[in-house]
Amino acid sequence: MNAPSPQPPAVRTTCPYCGVGCGVLAQPDGYGGAVVAGDPHHPANFGRICSKGSALGETLGLDQRVLHPMLRQFDGSLARVDWSVALDRVADGFQRVIKRDGPDAVAFYLSGQLLTEDYYVANKLMKGFIGSGNVDTNSRLCMASSVAGHKRAFGADTVPGSYEDLDAADLIVLVGSNAAWCHPVLFQRMVKNRRERGARIVVIDPRRTATAEDADLFLPIAPGKDTALFCGLLVHLANLCALDYRYIDAHTDGFENALARARAIAPDLAATARLAGLPPADVARFFELFHTIPNAVTCFSQGVNQSSQGTDKVNAIINCHLATGRIGRRGQGPFSLTGQPNAMGGREVGGLANQLAAHMGFTADDIDRVGRFWQAPRVATREGLKAVQLFDAIARGKIKALWVMATNPAVSLPRARQVREALGRLDLFVVSDNVAANDTVAAGAHVLLPAAAWGEKDGTVTNSERRISRQRAFLPPPGEAKPDWWMVTQVARRMGFAPAFPYRSAADIFREHAALSSFENGGRRAFDLGGLADIGDDAFAALDPVQWPLPAGEPRHARQPDHRFFAEGGFYTQDRKARFIAPDPPAPSAPAGKDFPFRLNTGRVRDQWHTMTRSGLSPRLGAHAPEPFVEVHPADAKAKNLVDGAFAQVTTRWGSCVLKVSVSAAQRRGSLFVPIHWSDATASAARIGDLVMPETDRYSGQPDAKATPAAIAPVTFAFRGFALTRRPLALPDGTWWARVALAQATGLLLASNDGPATWRERAHAMFGDDAELAELSDDRRGAYRAAAFIAGRLEGCLFIGPAATAPQWDAVKALFETGMLNEAARRVLLSGRSADGLASAGPIVCACFGVGLTAIRDAIQTGAAISVEGIGAALRAGTNCGSCLPELKRIVADVAGTAPAGTGSARMIAS
Ligand code: SF4
């Protein structure tokens, strides 16, 4: 008898979601899936992962994958072809356009989801061999303003500090950062510091987010006024003589000018408070904390970056740290929290249109240096087009061939509808991705290339603290999927550049990338991986997470006394001094127009990522916020006749969406908040990119996604319900729907003005002629329920009822998973009640243990739990990854009546 084969060891790899860059251990289950846990030895997370990381194992299925190269046919369909045919088509197509219209008529649009090696090869082909700067990336939407701010102040795009500084800081200021949801593991590190060391946390955000639950001070700043607040802080510190003049004199330039500008913008505390829309006492408290606590780290994220004045906001923050010498020291410094898993790797490679390669720009020296290193015949000599300009150029017919890798611009870019239309005008439109059908593919991709996904790819990523970690494969690529670097290499060879693209592995590429970073560096560039340029294949395979600057000793070229930058100056400008930047005054708030009186703010929810192509596959994650929603302040809701849980149409100059209404005092008056995740693939009318204005920051080119003028009006649906189905379902026109991943089916939450009779007529067509229907109709109550069986197996069901008493799906979901139902179970199913008579759990708060809002409220109200810890003991909620702890805190305060007025458990959107 054969002994059972031993379980293979877990593979050390890196989470593919946010810029925290947590190390994870993936244990393949032998059936194409894996169990994923935190890596206790990874310095970014020491074993902790958040709800998204915990659910990675649920996202590895192949249902949505593209498995073979596909070409668009004359009839509009996509048909499978051989790799050689697809690659020839890409190479020939690019060459034809370049020959006819020049190199600037082609472009690549890349992604912070790519590995560094993918990025490197794509950037090299376009900027070195095609000879255009037209490589940009979705990181432009995420942190381009931080890049521009760093370069203006430091002379290089260098994050000075490390995550350890968040453990050692005595004051942590979070500006425009909902870290509790967007960087959860890092945020839990901050909370631990607060709990164990007494660090103070200040949260500055127009919206009272989950992050504010753990704040000692919350400043609900007026949108766009961060520059005024930090100018006021600089003035305040200068007036108190609380600046580090030794540091200013020795290591900086431009202080007087910046201070004069700060005085002009925010001359005193009262003016600062007025400009920032904050109570003077709160501003005074923040200034006092910053003045008296030297160990201060200021973290900033999309709320700062995604602004038409984002770069100035970044520099206003950096100015305060330079002026106090609080930079590059333990527990001190400005800290950009990066959104994506490898946005930093993309920046290192040069994947933004205004970078050339390896932290070099478009100076004559850098162009010459990179050209000699690559032995490239026609290095691009000027910056390419940044994302919004790039898609404008496509719309104008200036760019005729585009390759989109690992991103979904038809959803995520501002004016997404126009982007989608522009894509339809391309002569050659190539997409390499994991998924067979997203909005970008649907925009008319001519060539669809199957890319290896997380778990199949091999290479490196860099996180927010400059730490390079390995992403390792633990599953074989399905079908004919290949890494992106392989596809680009094959195309480059076909275009005649074979000698410069000899790569056989990610390790080959990494070595070249590291060598370029140190080529003629001589300490002129912060980014230098020279110590890894000769790394062998085995050492690359085993590479531990490593932060740059590389540790002294082993690898060569290490120059920093520790792993931080700038404690003793040494900036990457000509004179090695930092630059204070005099920011522009914050633009005055535009008067509320009659047509669009609100400001639309966009963001994320805790358990989804980008356009949900991966996180949307997880039933656990889908249960937290299952529907697209708009958050509205109670006074605005009242004025506009909006009802919590009902629907509203949000309209801007560029488009409209229909979303569920969430009334919350966490929202600022006059502002609307919408999450960005839904697309045409996952909801009927919730592609938020359609609404966002194309205004960009003039230094970084980053779009302002936080302040689009908008209008809101109620939308009435007389009936609501849901469908569960194991096969695609054609819904009647006019139905509002949102797709939710379930364990054994797809869930669709529905709203409609069609009554039961209409749904009854359509049910057979929806489920197919081969389905046997069990039905329950009650025209008097306005209810219709159907269960569809094929060969005795439950294949789908449909529940429709009056909107005021919408049917709940928890009990039906549970029965659906069993598949085969006897007569009694069919009756229970159509009753919509749980077989054990238990009430619905309500929307899920704790994704790890599936604990719902109703159960938590019940526990508090019955006295079974009166604190967050008590809820953990009674229900286990919050005892695993900790991502839901801020919400538990808010629910406890809400039920106890101690929450700030009206905030309540505001996000909870009942399904
Ligand atoms: S915080 Fe969560 S999403 Fe971000 S890297 Fe860690 S596990 Fe992944």
The DSSP 8-state label assigned to residue 689 in this structure reads G
pLDDT band at residue 821 using 50, 70 and 90 as cut-offs: confident
Atom number, ligand 1, closest to the C-alpha of residue 24: 7
Cis check: omega of the bond before 549, within 30 degrees of 0: yes
pLDDT band at residue 898 using 50, 70 and 90 as cut-offs: low
Q: Is the CB of 52 under 6 A from ligand 1?
A: yes
Q: What is the rounded average pLDDT for all residues in the chain? A: 92
The pLDDT, as a whole number, for residue 622 is 85
| Average pLDDT of the residues in 690-711 | 96
| Average pLDDT of the residues in 353-380 | 96
- Amino acid letter at 327? I
The DSSP 8-state label assigned to residue 683 in this structure reads B
pLDDT over 90 percentage in the chain: 75
- Residue 759 structure tokens: 């749904």
Q: Which residues contact 393 (CB under 8 A, 6 or more apart)?
A: 107, 385, 399
Phi then psi dihedrals of residue 30, to 5 deg: 85, -5
Does pLDDT of 590 surpass 70? no
Three-state SS annotation for 575-621: CCCEECCCCCCCCCCCCCCCCCCEEEEEECCCCCCCCCCCHHHCHHH
| Average pLDDT of the residues in 601-615 | 90
- Per residue in 621-680, pLDDT (tens digit) is 888 889 999 999 999 999 999 999 999 999 999 999 999 999 999 999 999 999 999 999
Order the strands of the 296-300 sheet from edge to edge.
Answer: 217-219, 200-204, 171-175, 296-300, 333-336
Gap from CA of 210 to ligand 1 centroid (Å): 17
Does pLDDT of 391 surpass 80? yes
Is residue 616 within 8 Å of residue 680, measured between CB atoms?
A: no
Q: Is the CB of 273 under 6 A from ligand 1?
A: no
| Average pLDDT of the residues in 424-448 | 95
The DSSP 8-state label assigned to residue 465 in this structure reads T
pLDDT band at residue 831 using 50, 70 and 90 as cut-offs: confident
Is residue 573 within 8 Å of residue 158, measured between CB atoms?
A: no
Whose CA is closest to 524, among 576, 562, 579, 467?
A: 576
Q: Is the CB of 42 under 6 A from ligand 1?
A: no
Distance between CA atoms of 173 and 205, rounded to whole angstroms? 11
Does pLDDT of 224 surpass 90? yes
Distance between CA atoms of 525 and 441, rounded to whole angstroms? 39
Q: Is the CB of 345 under 6 A from ligand 1?
A: no
Q: Is the CB of 677 under 6 A from ligand 1?
A: no
| Average pLDDT of the residues in 12-36 | 94
Gap from CA of 459 to ligand 1 centroid (Å): 18
The pLDDT, as a whole number, for residue 911 is 26
| Average pLDDT of the residues in 810-818 | 78
The pLDDT, as a whole number, for residue 832 is 73
Gap from CA of 307 to ligand 1 centroid (Å): 25
What size, in residues, is the chain?
911
The Cβ of residue 744 has, within 10 Å, a number of other Cβ atoms equal to 13
Closest C-alpha residue for ligand 1 atom 4: 18
Q: For residues 478 and 32, which has the higher predicted lDDT (pLDDT)? A: 478
Is residue 606 within 8 Å of residue 720, measured between CB atoms?
A: no
Q: Is the CB of 454 under 6 A from ligand 1?
A: no
pLDDT band at residue 189 using 50, 70 and 90 as cut-offs: very high
Phi then psi dihedrals of residue 213, to 5 deg: -60, -25
Closest C-alpha residue for ligand 1 atom 6: 22
The DSSP 8-state label assigned to residue 482 in this structure reads B
The pLDDT, as a whole number, for residue 560 is 45
Distance between CA atoms of 639 and 465, rounded to whole angstroms? 45
Q: Is the CB of 24 under 6 A from ligand 1?
A: no
Is residue 685 within 8 Å of residue 660, measured between CB atoms?
A: no
Distance between CA atoms of 857 and 562, rounded to whole angstroms? 49
Atom number, ligand 1, closest to the C-alpha of residue 21: 5
Q: Is the CB of 390 under 6 A from ligand 1?
A: no
Pairing of strands 428-433, 447-450: parallel
The pLDDT, as a whole number, for residue 554 is 46
Gap from CA of 22 to ligand 1 centroid (Å): 6
Q: Which residues contact 262 (CB under 8 A, 6 or more apart)?
A: 231, 232, 234, 235, 238, 316, 319, 582
Atom number, ligand 1, closest to the C-alpha of residue 18: 4
Gap from CA of 38 to ligand 1 centroid (Å): 10
Q: Is the CB of 66 under 6 A from ligand 1?
A: no
Gap from CA of 458 to ligand 1 centroid (Å): 19
Q: Is the CB of 20 under 6 A from ligand 1?
A: yes
| CA atoms 390, 395, 397, 401: torsion sign | positive
- Residue 245 structure tokens: 């003049």
Q: Is the CB of 184 under 6 A from ligand 1?
A: yes
How deeply is 449 buried, as exposed, middle or buried, from its count of CB atoms within 10 A (0-12, 13-18, 19+)?
Answer: buried
The alpha carbons of the chain give a radius of gyration, in whole angstroms, of 27
pLDDT band at residue 781 using 50, 70 and 90 as cut-offs: confident
Mutating to test ligand 1, I would choose from 25, 36, 52 the residue with most ligand atoms within 8 A of its C-beta, which is: 52
Gap from CA of 837 to ligand 1 centroid (Å): 37
Distance between CA atoms of 590 and 597, rounded to whole angstroms? 10
Q: Is the CB of 185 under 6 A from ligand 1?
A: yes
**Of the spans 310-324, 621-635, 798-812, which averages the highest pLDDT?**
310-324
Is residue 903 within 8 Å of residue 890, measured between CB atoms?
A: yes
Beta bridge mates, 683: 738
Gap from CA of 463 to ligand 1 centroid (Å): 11
Q: Which of 207-211, 289-293, 600-604, 724-728 has the lowest mean pLDDT?
A: 724-728
Atom number, ligand 1, closest to the C-alpha of residue 185: 1
Q: Is the CB of 22 under 6 A from ligand 1?
A: yes
The pLDDT, as a whole number, for residue 625 is 87
- Per residue in 54-91, pLDDT (tens digit) is 999 999 989 889 999 999 999 999 999 999 999 999 99
Is residue 652 within 8 Å of residue 691, measured between CB atoms?
A: yes
| Average pLDDT of the residues in 855-879 | 87
Q: Which long-range contacts (CB under 8 A, 24 or more apart) does 486-493 make?
A: 487/87, 487/432, 487/449, 487/451, 488/118, 488/121, 488/122, 488/125, 489/121, 490/83, 490/87, 491/87, 491/90, 491/91, 491/94, 491/125, 492/121, 492/125, 492/129
Mutating to test ligand 1, I would choose from 113, 185, 880 the residue with most ligand atoms within 8 A of its C-beta, which is: 185
Does pLDDT of 905 surpass 50? no
Gap from CA of 40 to ligand 1 centroid (Å): 14
**SS3 category, 88:** helix
Q: Which of 336-345, 638-647, 813-822 has the lowest mean pLDDT?
A: 813-822
Three-state SS annotation for 126-157: HHHHHCCCCEEEHHHHCCHHHHHHHHHHHCCC
Atom number, ligand 1, closest to the C-alpha of residue 14: 5
Whose CA is closest to 705, among 603, 593, 588?
A: 603
The pLDDT, as a whole number, for residue 848 is 81
Q: Which of 32-36, 306-310, 822-826 has the lowest mean pLDDT?
A: 822-826
- Per residue in 493-540, pLDDT (tens digit) is 999 999 999 999 999 999 999 999 999 999 999 999 999 999 999 999
Q: Which of 96-110, 156-170, 214-228, 843-857 has the lowest mean pLDDT?
A: 843-857
pLDDT band at residue 891 using 50, 70 and 90 as cut-offs: confident
Give DSSP secondary structure letters for 156-215. Answer: S------THHHHH-SEEEEES--HHHHSHHHHHHHHHHHHHH--EEEEE-SS--GGGGG-
Q: Is the CB of 21 under 6 A from ligand 1?
A: yes
Q: Which long-range contacts (CB under 8 A, 24 or more apart) does 273-277 make?
A: 273/232, 275/222, 275/225, 275/228, 275/229, 275/232, 275/586, 276/219, 276/221, 276/222, 276/225, 276/228, 276/229, 276/232, 277/220, 277/221, 277/222, 277/225
Atom number, ligand 1, closest to the C-alpha of residue 45: 6
Largest CA distance in the chain: 84
Q: Is the CB of 497 under 6 A from ligand 1?
A: no
Atom number, ligand 1, closest to the C-alpha of residue 463: 5
pLDDT over 70 percentage in the chain: 95
Q: Is the CB of 344 under 6 A from ligand 1?
A: no
Distance between CA atoms of 314 and 296, rounded to whole angstroms? 16
Mutating to test ligand 1, I would choose from 13, 14, 15, 624 the residue with most ligand atoms within 8 A of its C-beta, which is: 15
Mutating to test ligand 1, I would choose from 13, 14, 17, 848 the residue with most ligand atoms within 8 A of its C-beta, which is: 17
The DSSP 8-state label assigned to residue 709 in this structure reads E
Gap from CA of 298 to ligand 1 centroid (Å): 20
637: left (phi over 0), alpha (psi -120 to 50) or beta: alpha
Atom number, ligand 1, closest to the C-alpha of residue 883: 2
Q: Is the CB of 17 under 6 A from ligand 1?
A: yes
Does pLDDT of 265 surpass 50? yes
Whose CA is closest to 61, among 742, 549, 571, 606?
A: 742
The pLDDT, as a whole number, for residue 839 is 56
